[in-house]
Structure 1
Amino acid sequence: MEKLHLLILVLLPTLLGLPLLYICEILWLRPERIRRKLRNQGVRGPKPSLLHGNTQEIKRIRQELASDEQKQDTNNYMSTLFPHLLLWRETYGPVFLYSTGAMEVLYVADPAMIKDMSHCTSTQLGKPTYIKRSRKPLFGEGILVANGDLWAYERKIVAPEFFMEKIKVMIRIIEEASVPLLEGWETMLDNAGGSREIYVDDHLRNFSADVIAKACFGSDFTTGEEIFRKLRQLQTTLSKQDALWKRLPTKSNKEIQKLEREVRSLILDVANREKSINDDDSKHNDLLRTIVDGARHCPGWGGGTAEDFIVDNCKNIYFAGHETTAVTATWCLMLLATHRTWQDRARAEALEVCHGRPTLPDADALRRLKTITMVIQETLRLYPPASMMYREALEDVKLGGLDVPRGTIIQTAMLMLHLDEAVWGPDAREFRPDRFAGGASAACRPAMAQMYMPFGHGPRVCAGQNLAMVELKVLLARLLSKFAFSPSLGYRHAPAFRLTIEPGFGMPLLVARLP
């Protein structure tokens, strides 16, 4: 017994010390190594505290600079959503370092470094681990958050389904999905004498959901609508979740788990219907069939099942394929409503290209929608749906002459790049679609084309950008051919960050039927 007591006395300090050493490594030693290496290369930034990093300072800056609800111009919301980044950039320049406590974040707005980031491979830069953990109920291990070989495999099977030749086949599906939207608004206007206020964002979200459900998954409207409704609830609940309590059985966490189970069940029902369709049946959906087939041959799934692979990638595509497009369409209509000259120009083009018909005559007509394309590109510049890009250095990398150590979180604010007067000129904050008359590469200062990245950049550029652009062109052409849009006195400009940048209080517009 005495030997046992002696053994316990010897081992107890070691057993107690290991967790303390691990905590010390996570909260202090590892961040300090990253911080020292970057500081030694001249990177500056606010001084962090031991446990909280700069999080308390971020809260203080937000309270001081954003609580008074500054009168921001229509196309700049950095001052209310991310005032600390604005302040630190003014203080420390386009590259600075700050801390969240357990993570060192390297903010990058330097063109040379951004260009180098676009050339990094998926094994060098990937999605941060903390994002994968915090958004796991929404994204799982799908293409939006996976890294390494798994991401490369997912990209290989998903990306070809969004090549332009396949997107052209979806145009009729997009037009068909717009019919309930147009007819619904016409009925509302008939009952209101031809003009009324409509909160357009929810209507646009339903339209985009119907497109992605039918075009990519072949599911019926009812099933698709239910999946999107629950994903929307999951997104909203996650955006309010306190990371400190995420593992406890709180009411919010129970709701997240419930929604996650329900979304999984709905998606598997759609996938099982797809499995039951014969290969020679022309009605089966290529993308869903590709994901189902890919689940059988996926390497290195990390202990997950084939069902996990199907559910996670479908959730990723459902979310990314409709949420970002719907939000962009909403901002497009807001900007056209407040810039009537551009609305008239876009409408005249739509009527000319469509020859007064309710549908596009052919896929080539999309190329002739030059004004509408410029409007979309300028909207994406001013309101990039994913305004922040985060990457984690999965190994030591060199960016613009700076040695970035493994484990560093790299952050880039697309909006700040898109409003940089050094890149876009003194009118950077103005809605001026004609800057894109010569294409995106000619819209900004020479050698600065990499600073325009509404769909991301590098190997992880959005695979669905072709579908998003075609969907937006078709939708705007059809809406502008039937309706006129004006600002509503009920609109409160307060963009909110909920994974995407969306109107904080909805988007009411005055909609009138054209004579």
Structure 2
Amino acid sequence: MKLEFDSQFLISVVFLGFVGLLCYLYTLLVEKPNRLRSKLMKQGINGPPPTLLLGNLLELKKAQSATSKSSSEFPSSHNCAALLFPLFNKWRDQYGQVFMFSLGTIPILCVDQPDIVREFSVCTSLDLGKPAYQFKQQRPLVGKGVLYSNGAEWVHQRKIVAPELYMGKLKGMMNIISESAVSVLNLWSNKIEAEGGVADIKIDECLRNFSGNVISRACFGSSYAKSEEIFLKLNTLQELLSWKNMSKCIPGMSYLPTKTNREIWTLEKEVNEKILKVVKERKKSSFHQKDLLQMIFENVKDSNLSKNAIENFVVDNCKNMYLAGFESTAVAATWCLMLLASNQDWQDRVRTEVLEICNGRIPDLGMLGKMKQLAMVIHEALRLYPPVTVVSREFLKDMKFGNLDVPKGFNLWIMIVSLHSNPDIWGDDAYKFKPERFANGTIGSCKLPHVYMPFGLGPRVCLGQNLAIIELKMLISLILSKFTFSLSPHYVHSPTLRLLIEPEHGVNILVKKL
């Protein structure tokens, strides 16, 4: 009798536990997202109805598959927002400049309204933090000189070294940048000679090598040769974490041992181990270099953080420098050269300016600062093909934005690529390559210049923007001073969205010496 009673009691406990788990999951995955949406619906904000657990992922996946097939021989229009986010344009037309949708059970407030964008750009509160869903695959990165996680949970509040490196050490990096650029020129010269005076060059890999060499030497100093494999693995990891892997937003999917997730976990482990190996070798060295790695060490040596936390700090900063200082610069340079190759008049104008300023010399910071025509081209390229398409944040507390009371748990998306090409802001020629719109700098470029944010805006502006602009100016000015180029017949215009807007099939140009 006692055994029967114990069995019934155990079954009852298991049953109640199972019911409790179902109630918890229902509250977390169904009731909470619906409650959050209803708070904005009462304020007049609407959006496409979400599907249980999947949200609007199926619609997004279908739209992504349709746009991936579109391409053209030459770019007649540079409307990346319509090409890459047709569903967002449809939702904006249907629901207004502020609407909501769902990635799985994650509620997103999508904003195209300039007034709210302005308010966002000056918000310094850590209550508007990095989205939690971004941490399922990576640890916290860096924002505004402070290392933070989901809100202010990361206890280490010391300033990191990136602002000093990127904003105060550029002059000391000029040799690294120029030497890396010259290696590209030498490679192209050899190809031209080998191919009889005109070379058809796929430039993507060359530009990645250039940018990777710069950031590797800046980060790792004399250890930079060992970082090449790290960057290759990070590049693969970036591809796996791109928009193509939307399924990671389905609740629980990022924890399942799928083929993609196993690849991600393996790569993350390998990258972390290789970075830490370089770190340990550096610590054993008696020679202290003034590179980013050494500056990070000095920044945390007196902290009260644990050994594990310090290692995470170093690893995450190295990863951050990879994306901010390597991949984004290489992709931006690729689009700049594509646009100059397809607009010969602007190529000639910028070349004339470069030859006049440099007079056969390698440009220094002062010379680069005088290249106004080149700056206009770079700004226009970053407008049409911004390195970052969406700025995302999570409301970690109830906050007021504009006239909206946004509840804790919502994510905010600022659609940079859409704001950069809005005809109401930039005029009827918004989809065309017109560098002259930046003749008076970014302030005089359009009706609402605060919406131009290729590197972010305000307190959260990208720490590496100065370095990126210097790299672009150095590389493009040297190329223009040595070569003339046009688009190759092999070029197919097909921008695609990974973590950045990239040319899906690469960029081929026909290059010959001046």
After TM superposition, give the deviation of residue 348 of structure 1 in Å. Answer: 1.1
Matched, 1:226 2:246: no
For 1:254 and 1:351, how far apart are their aligned partners in 2?
Answer: 52
Q: Which has the higher relative contact order, 1 or 2, with Cα contacts under 8 A spaced 6 or more apart? A: 2
Letter in 2 for 1:197: D
Partner in structure 2 of residue 95 of structure 1? 98
Relative to structure 1, the CA distance from residue 179 to residue 269 in structure 2 (aligned partners, 3 Å threshold; closer, same or farther) is: farther
Give the secondary-structure state (helix, strand or coil) at the position aligned to 1:157: coil
Q: Alpha-carbon deviations, 1:293-325, whole Å to 9, x = none?
A: 344455678x94422221121111123210000
Letter in 2 for 1:484: T
Partner in structure 1 of residue 108 of structure 2? 105
Q: Alpha-carbon deviations, 1:94-115, whole Å to 9, x = none?
A: 1111123311111101111111
Letter in 2 for 1:87: K
Relative to structure 1, the CA distance from residue 215 to residue 66 in structure 2 (aligned partners, 3 Å threshold; closer, same or farther) is: closer
Q: Which residue, 330, 343, 348 being the options, matches 2:352? A: 348
Partner in structure 2 of residue 293 of structure 1? 298
Stretch of structure 1 that moved more, 456-465 or 213-222: 213-222
Partner in structure 1 of residue 323 of structure 2? 319
Structure 1 gaps, min length 5: none
Letter in 1 for 2:114: P
- Show structure 1 runs of 4+ deviating over 6 A: none
Alignment of 1:133-282 (within 5 A): 133=136, 135-136=137-138, 140-143=139-142, 146-149=149-152, 153=156, 156-220=159-223, 222-239=225-242, 240-241=244-245, 242-243=247-248, 246-278=254-286
Relative to structure 1, the CA distance from residue 457 to residue 484 in structure 2 (aligned partners, 3 Å threshold; closer, same or farther) is: same
For 1:335 and 1:88, how far apart are their aligned partners in 2?
Answer: 30
Give the secondary-structure state (helix, strand or coil) at the position aligned to 2:160: helix
After TM superposition, give the deviation of residue 74 of structure 1 in Å. Answer: 3.8
Q: Percent identity?
A: 44
* 2:71–2:492 Cα contact (<8 Å) kept: no
For 1:41 and 1:314, how far apart are their aligned partners in 2?
Answer: 42
Partner in structure 2 of residue 400 of structure 1? 402
For 1:151 and 1:510, how far apart are their aligned partners in 2?
Answer: 50
Partner in structure 1 of residue 27 of structure 2? 25
Matched, 1:416 2:418: yes
Q: Which residue, 384, 387, 398 being the options, matches 2:386? A: 384
Stretch of structure 1 that moved more, 341-350 or 228-237: 228-237
Stretch of structure 1 that moved more, 496-505 or 266-275: 266-275
For 2:488 and 2:155, how far apart are their aligned partners in 1?
Answer: 46
Partner in structure 1 of residue 369 of structure 2? 367
Letter in 2 for 1:487: L
Matched, 1:284 2:285: no
Q: Which residue, 312, 335, 338 being the options, matches 1:334? A: 338
Partner in structure 2 of residue 429 of structure 1? 431
* 1:95–1:109 Cα contact (<8 Å) kept: yes
Give the secondary-structure state (helix, strand or coil) at the position aligned to 2:169: helix
Count matched residues.
501
* 1:219–1:270 Cα contact (<8 Å) kept: no
For 1:69 and 1:352, how far apart are their aligned partners in 2?
Answer: 41
Q: Alpha-carbon deviations, 1:7-45, whole Å to 9, x = none?
A: 435533431122212211222111111111100001121
Letter in 1 for 2:170: I
Structure 2 gaps, min length 5: none
For 1:266 and 1:55, how far apart are their aligned partners in 2?
Answer: 35
Q: Alpha-carbon deviations, 1:47-90, whole Å to 9, x = none?
A: 22333322233345556x63773767441233332111011111
Give the secondary-structure state (helix, strand or coil) at the position aligned to 2:142: coil
Letter in 2 for 1:472: L
Stretch of structure 1 that moved more, 247-256 or 227-236: 247-256
For 1:6 and 1:49, how far apart are their aligned partners in 2?
Answer: 38
* 1:79–1:86 Cα contact (<8 Å) kept: yes
After TM superposition, give the deviation of residue 6 of structure 1 in Å. Answer: 5.1
Relative to structure 1, the CA distance from residue 250 to residue 61 in structure 2 (aligned partners, 3 Å threshold; closer, same or farther) is: closer
What value does the CA root-mean-square deviation take over the aligned residues? 2.4
Letter in 1 for 2:67: A
For 2:474 and 2:279, how far apart are their aligned partners in 1?
Answer: 28
Letter in 2 for 1:66: T
Partner in structure 2 of residue 487 of structure 1? 487
* 1:324–1:385 Cα contact (<8 Å) kept: yes
Partner in structure 2 of residue 69 of structure 1? 70
* 1:209–1:224 Cα contact (<8 Å) kept: no
After TM superposition, give the deviation of residue 125 of structure 1 in Å. Answer: 1.0
Relative to structure 1, the CA distance from residue 269 to residue 179 in structure 2 (aligned partners, 3 Å threshold; closer, same or farther) is: farther
Give the secondary-structure state (helix, strand or coil) at the position aligned to 1:266: helix
For 1:386 and 1:190, how far apart are their aligned partners in 2?
Answer: 37
For 1:285 and 1:190, how far apart are their aligned partners in 2?
Answer: 39
Q: Which residue, 23, 35, 38 being the options, matches 1:36? A: 38
For 2:403 and 2:162, how far apart are their aligned partners in 1?
Answer: 32
After TM superposition, give the deviation of residue 163 of structure 1 in Å. Answer: 4.7
For 1:469 and 1:87, how far apart are their aligned partners in 2?
Answer: 34
Relative to structure 1, the CA distance from residue 504 to residue 286 in structure 2 (aligned partners, 3 Å threshold; closer, same or farther) is: same
Q: Alpha-carbon deviations, 1:150-179, whole Å to 9, x = none?
A: 669578213432353311221111001112
Relative to structure 1, the CA distance from residue 408 to residue 506 in structure 2 (aligned partners, 3 Å threshold; closer, same or farther) is: same
After TM superposition, give the deviation of residue 210 of structure 1 in Å. Answer: 0.2
Stretch of structure 1 that moved more, 178-187 or 69-78: 69-78
Letter in 2 for 1:267: I
Stretch of structure 1 that moved more, 203-212 or 290-299: 290-299
Q: Which residue, 36, 41, 53 being the options, matches 1:51? A: 53
Give the secondary-structure state (helix, strand or coil) at the position aligned to 2:443: helix
Stretch of structure 1 that moved more, 13-22 or 323-332: 13-22
Letter in 2 for 1:331: W
- TM-score, reference length from structure 2: 0.91
For 2:27 and 2:420, how far apart are their aligned partners in 1?
Answer: 38
Stretch of structure 1 that moved more, 452-461 or 241-250: 241-250
* 2:495–2:504 Cα contact (<8 Å) kept: yes
